[in-house]
Amino acid sequence: MDIIVDNISKHFGTQKAVDQVSFQVKTGEILGFLGPNGAGKSTTMRAITCYLTPTSGDIRVGGYSIHENPEEIKQNIGYLPESNPLYQDMPVLDYLRFVAEIHKIPKEKIPGRIREMVRTCGLEAEKHKKIAELSKGYKQRVGLAQALIHDPQVLVLDEPTSGLDPNQIIEIRELIREIGREKTVILSSHILAEVEATCDRILIINDGKIVADGTSSDLRKKAQNKEILKITIEDADKNDIFKALQSLQNTQMVDILSQSGNSFELQSKPGTSSRRDVFRLCVDRDWMLTEMTPTETKLEDIFRELTMN
Amino acid sequence: MTTIWILAKRELKSFFDSLLAYITIIAFLVFTGLFTWIIGRTVFLMSEASMQSFFGVAYWALFFFIPALTMKLIAEEHSSGTLELILTKPISERQLVLGKFLAVFILIALSLMLTLPYYITIASIGPIDHGATTLGYLGLLLMSAAYIGIGIFASSLTSNQIVSFLLALFIGIFFHLLFELIARYFPGAIGNTLSYLSLSTHYESITRGVVDSRDIIYFLAVVFLSLFGAQMAISRRNYTN
Interface contact A74-B17, CB threshold 8 A:
no
Interface contact A85-B239, CB threshold 8 A:
no
Residue, of A170 and B9, whose pLDDT is higher: B9
Same domain, yes or no: A188 and A232:
no
Same domain, yes or no: A189 and A296:
no
Same domain, yes or no: A121 and A232:
no
Q: What is the pLDDT of residue B221?
A: 95
Q: How large is the average pLDDT for residues A89-117?
A: 94
Q: What is the pLDDT of residue B147?
A: 96
A102 interface with B at CB cutoff 8 Å = yes
Same domain, yes or no: A238 and A263:
yes
Residue, of A307 and A148, whose pLDDT is higher: A148
User: What's the CATH code of the domain at A202?
Assistant: 3.40.50.300
Q: Which domain holds residue A297?
A: 222-307
Q: What is the pLDDT of residue A224?
A: 62
HEC secondary structure over chain B: CHHHHHHHHHHHHHHHHCCHHHHHHHHHHHHHHHHHHHCCCCHHHHCCCCCHHHHHHHHHHHHHHHHHHHCCCCHHHHHHCHHHHHHCCCCCHHHHHHHHHHHHHHHHHHHHHCCHHHHHHHHHHCCCCHHHHHHHHHHHHHHHHHHHHHHHHHHHHCCCHHHHHHHHHHHHHHHHHHHHHHHCCCCHHHHHHHHHHCHHHHHHHHHCCCCCHHHHHHHHHHHHHHHHHHHHHHHHHHCCC
Q: In chain B, what residues touch A81 (CB-CB under 8 Å)? A: 81, 84-85, 88
Same domain, yes or no: A280 and A231:
yes
Q: Which of A16-25, A230-239, A256-265, B223-232 has the lowest mean pLDDT?
A: A256-265
> Of A153, A181, A214, which marks where a domain is finished?
A214
Q: What is the ipTM of this complex?
A: 0.90
Same domain, yes or no: A228 and A208:
no
1-30 in chain A: CB under 8 A from chain B: 12-13, 15, 17
Same domain, yes or no: A249 and A208:
no
Q: In chain B, what residues touch A8 (CB-CB under 8 Å)? A: none
The 10s digit of each residue's pLDDT in A36-79 is: 888 889 999 999 999 999 999 999 999 899 999 999 999 999 99
User: What's the CATH code of the domain at A251?
Assistant: 3.30.70.100
Residue, of B175 and A295, whose pLDDT is higher: B175
Number of domains in chain A: 2
Q: In chain A, what residues touch B17 (CB-CB under 8 Å)? A: 89
Q: Which residue of A has its CA nearest to B92?
A: A71
The 10s digit of each residue's pLDDT in B10-21 is: 999 999 998 889
Interface contact B87-A98, CB threshold 8 A:
no
A87 interface with B at CB cutoff 8 Å = yes
The whole-angstrom distance between B159's CA and the closest CA on chain A is 15
Mutate to test the interface with A, among B13, B74, B89 (most CBs of A within 10 A): B89
The whole-angstrom distance between B88's CA and the closest CA on chain A is 6
Q: What is the pLDDT of residue A194?
A: 82
Nearest to A12 among B3, B92, B239 (CB): B239
